[in-house]
Amino acid sequence: MRETQRGQATSAIRQADVLIIGGGLSGTMLAAQLLRQSGQRQILVIEPRRELGRGEAYSAVELGHTLNGNAARMSVDPDNADDLTQWLTEYIANGGWPESDQQPVPVSELFPPRGIFGLYAQQRLAEAQAASQSTVEHIRAEVIDLQVEEHSTLLTLDNGQQLQGVFAVLATGMFPAARTPQTFSSGLNAAAVDPWDVSVMTELDPQSTVLIIGSGLTMVDAVVSLEQAGHRGPIEIFSRHGLLPHVRRQPPSWVDFLAEDHTIRSPRQLLREVRRQCRVALDQGIDWQAPLDTVRGHIGRLWSQASEPEKRQFVRHVRPWWESHHHRSPPLSAELVARLHGEGRLRIQAASFKGLEPSVAGEVSIRLRRRGEQQSMLVTGAALINSSGIEYDWRRVARPLPRQLLARGLIQPGPLALGIAADVSGAVLDAQGHASPRLFAMGPPLRGMWWESTAVTDVASQAKALAAKLAQL
């Protein structure tokens, strides 16, 4: 697979059949699926990082930053749920990941490091390329503008180069709040330490107090990073509801009750029935995660048929509990958080971040308001980490491409401003609500359409369906 380096701009406009904007997991899976389609086509993947297949999620290099799902749940092949398990078995047998023996479970139940998962995605792309008549080329640059013409799409890159393709796909992945410039900025990121930058954390006083905003999976990663950096001081966590992710376990199978009962349609009905099923499981001595895990395959259908008020009600009142129960922590990371909490070094409080305050050199001060209280309070620490999750509202993302797409009217915000709007095939809806015949999207940008559009299995299914559609057009 060839790669065009940053700065290698040419005056001629490069031509291709499909332009994939983003070479993280979403773009890589789409490229692999396109390579498997019959025929011959040229595919360009535009990604500023040095490697494809990693993106934000799988660029981590620390072994402690693991997947939050076990191998059996994380296959990039929608036709083979055991694909990662099979690859990982061979990888370990050949001497890779020797630390895996610290988890005395079958390979299918292992939670591999995200860096190793990135290697897996890259290898599957290379294998697809080797068996295909089509070609994939990595253009190492950032797309800063996009135009849709009658018979093609035209991309402008940050090095001045232009690319023209029959189709373009927005496979931009996620915009982590901790790393994403925002239009309406509180200055939080400028004062905060990157949650995954262990090298910077090693420069902190090991006994100092670290403040963390947000209590989801990014927070878990931040705590792992601090531990690996040798930090031994207090960790103060603040989030609106004060909820920690539950630990992911391996529950037994449970009847797919939503497949048997199609009268459940609204979020309220779903919540009521899930609670009932969990109580039944607990009464039988079965892990409550068993019935909850069966809901996963029905979320897209339930979300799409819910009314706008129902969706808003879900996001406002249910979302925090959904996130903490469904997006669960890998066992080893959860054990670390639980241990630090039990030792009193880690505390979590329900409080909202209200802004930064002036502070002396070597300290950071933030203003917070505890849940249920009217008065705010000032908290000071040696360092601050923004673990507030993902920014899904493209209107708030201060990157060139989202801004240009919005300014040109080529996209519109998705439901509840979650990602962007598209039809069921992934064709992007413009500002007037018209589906584009040239511009498509997949993965996290379609969060508002499917609610769960970030998990590996979700994106893998979307990649297969979109590749088949593009091959037929």
Residue 183 pLDDT greater than 80, yes or no:
no
Element (H, E) at 236: strand 235-239
Please, how many CA atoms are within 13 Å of residue 470, restricted to the half-sphere of its CB?
A: 34
Give the 3-state secondary structure of residue 223: helix
Say whether both 382 and 397 belong to one domain: no
Residue 184 pLDDT greater than 80, yes or no:
no
| Beta carbons of 12 and 43 less than 8 angstroms apart | no
Residue 376 pLDDT greater than 70, yes or no:
yes
Task: Determine the Cα–Cα distance for residues 460 and 245; give it in Å rounded to an integer.
Answer: 25
Say whether both 46 and 121 belong to one domain: yes
Q: Buried b / exposed e across 303-312, counting CB within 10 Å, b at 16+?
A: beebeeebbe
Please, how many CA atoms are within 13 Å of residue 224, restricted to the half-sphere of its CB?
A: 24
Residue 366 pLDDT greater than 90, yes or no:
yes
Q: Is residue 226 part of a domain?
A: yes
Q: Is residue 227 part of a domain?
A: yes
| Mean pLDDT to the nearest integer, 345-370 | 93
- Residue that the structure tokens 């309220």 belong to: 268
Q: Following DSSP, what letter does each residue of 302-356 receive, concatenated?
A: HHHHS-HHHHHHIIIIIHHHHHHHHSPBPHHHHHHHHHHHHHTSEEEEEEEEEEE
Q: Is residue 98 part of a domain?
A: no
When pLDDT is cut at 50, 70 and 90, the band that residue 174 belongs to is very high
Say whether both 408 and 373 belong to one domain: no
How confident is the model over 50-80, as pLDDT tens digits?
A: 999 998 888 887 889 999 999 999 999 999 9
Tokens standing for residue 384 = 């601050």
Query: What's the pLDDT score for residue 118?
Result: 95
Contacts of 150 (CB under 8 A, 6+ apart): none
Q: Is residue 295 part of a domain?
A: yes
Q: Following DSSP, what letter does each residue of 185-200 receive, concatenated?
A: --SHHHHSBPTT-HHH
Say whether both 399 and 382 belong to one domain: no
Query: What's the pLDDT score for residue 86?
Result: 98
Percent of the chain past pLDDT 70, that is, above it, reads: 97
Q: Is the dihedral of CA 351, 354, 359, 363 positive or negative?
A: positive
Structurally, how many domains does the chain consist of?
3
Question: Of the ranges 65-74, 81-90, 264-273, 388-397, which one carries the lowest mean pLDDT score?
Answer: 264-273
Residue 150 pLDDT greater than 70, yes or no:
yes
Q: Is residue 139 part of a domain?
A: yes
Q: Is residue 344 part of a domain?
A: yes
**Where in the sequence is the domain holding 367, given as residue range(s)?**
188-246+328-386
188 against 248, higher pLDDT: 248
Q: Is the dihedral of CA 373, 377, 381, 385 positive or negative?
A: positive
Query: What's the pLDDT score for residue 360?
Result: 86
Say whether both 359 and 419 belong to one domain: no
Domain closes at, from 256, 286, 316? 316
CATH number for 235: 3.50.50.60
Please, how many CA atoms are within 13 Å of residue 445, restricted to the half-sphere of its CB?
A: 29
Query: What's the pLDDT score for residue 274?
Result: 94
Where in 22-170 does DSSP place strands (E)? 42-46, 135-139, 143-148, 153-157, 162-170
- For residue 164, the cross-strand partners are 15, 154
Residue 294 pLDDT greater than 80, yes or no:
yes
Distance of CA 398 to the CA centre of its chain: 18
| Beta carbons of 395 and 406 less than 8 angstroms apart | yes
| Mean pLDDT to the nearest integer, 426-442 | 98
Count of Cβ atoms closer than 10 Å to residue 38 Cβ = 8
| Beta carbons of 253 and 290 less than 8 angstroms apart | yes
When pLDDT is cut at 50, 70 and 90, the band that residue 318 belongs to is confident
Q: Is residue 147 part of a domain?
A: yes
Task: Determine the Cα–Cα distance for residues 264 and 473; give it in Å rounded to an integer.
Answer: 37
373 against 184, higher pLDDT: 373
Question: Of the ranges 140-149, 295-304, 409-418, which one carries the lowest mean pLDDT score?
Answer: 295-304
How confident is the model over 75-132, as pLDDT tens digits?
A: 999 999 999 999 999 999 999 999 998 888 999 999 999 999 999 999 999 999 999 9
Q: Is residue 100 part of a domain?
A: no
Say whether both 122 and 6 belong to one domain: yes
Residue 160 pLDDT greater than 90, yes or no:
yes
- The CA distances from residue 162 to 11, 19, 44, in Å, are 8, 11, 12
Say whether both 197 and 342 belong to one domain: yes
DSSP 8-state class, residue 367: E
Say whether both 216 and 336 belong to one domain: yes
Count of Cβ atoms closer than 10 Å to residue 259 Cβ = 10
When pLDDT is cut at 50, 70 and 90, the band that residue 459 belongs to is very high
Read off the pTM. Answer: 0.94
Say whether both 59 and 131 belong to one domain: yes
DSSP 8-state class, residue 152: -
Task: Determine the Cα–Cα distance for residues 464 and 426; give it in Å rounded to an integer.
Answer: 12
Q: Phi and psi for 235 in degrees, rounded to 5?
A: -125, 115
Percent of the chain past pLDDT 90, that is, above it, reads: 81
Say whether both 396 and 459 belong to one domain: yes
Residue 35 pLDDT greater than 80, yes or no:
yes
Task: Determine the Cα–Cα distance for residues 345 and 190; give it in Å rounded to an integer.
Answer: 26
- The CA distances from residue 405 to 248, 325, 394, 418, in Å, are 38, 35, 10, 16
| Mean pLDDT to the nearest integer, 206-232 | 96
Nearest to 430 by CA among 226, 146, 199: 146
Residue 186 pLDDT greater than 80, yes or no:
no
When pLDDT is cut at 50, 70 and 90, the band that residue 261 belongs to is confident
Q: Phi and psi for 290 in degrees, rounded to 5?
A: -60, -55
Residue 10 pLDDT greater than 60, yes or no:
no
Q: Report the mean per-residue pLDDT for the chain.
A: 93
Query: What's the pLDDT score for residue 6?
Result: 61
Say whether both 276 and 195 belong to one domain: no
Query: What's the pLDDT score for residue 188?
Result: 84
- For residue 113, the cross-strand partners are 66
Residue 11 pLDDT greater than 70, yes or no:
no
When pLDDT is cut at 50, 70 and 90, the band that residue 8 belongs to is low
463 against 453, higher pLDDT: 463
Residue 426 pLDDT greater than 70, yes or no:
yes
| Beta carbons of 459 and 25 less than 8 angstroms apart | yes
When pLDDT is cut at 50, 70 and 90, the band that residue 5 belongs to is low
Q: Which amino acid is at 435?
A: A
- For residue 369, the cross-strand partners are 352
Residue 169 pLDDT greater than 80, yes or no:
yes
Domain closes at, from 343, 363, 386? 386
Q: Phi and psi for 58 in degrees, rounded to 5?
A: -115, 20
Say whether both 433 and 405 belong to one domain: yes
When pLDDT is cut at 50, 70 and 90, the band that residue 190 belongs to is confident
- The CA distances from residue 356 to 56, 145, 189, 364, in Å, are 26, 33, 11, 8
Residue 312 pLDDT greater than 60, yes or no:
yes
Q: Is the dihedral of CA 352, 353, 357, 359 positive or negative?
A: positive
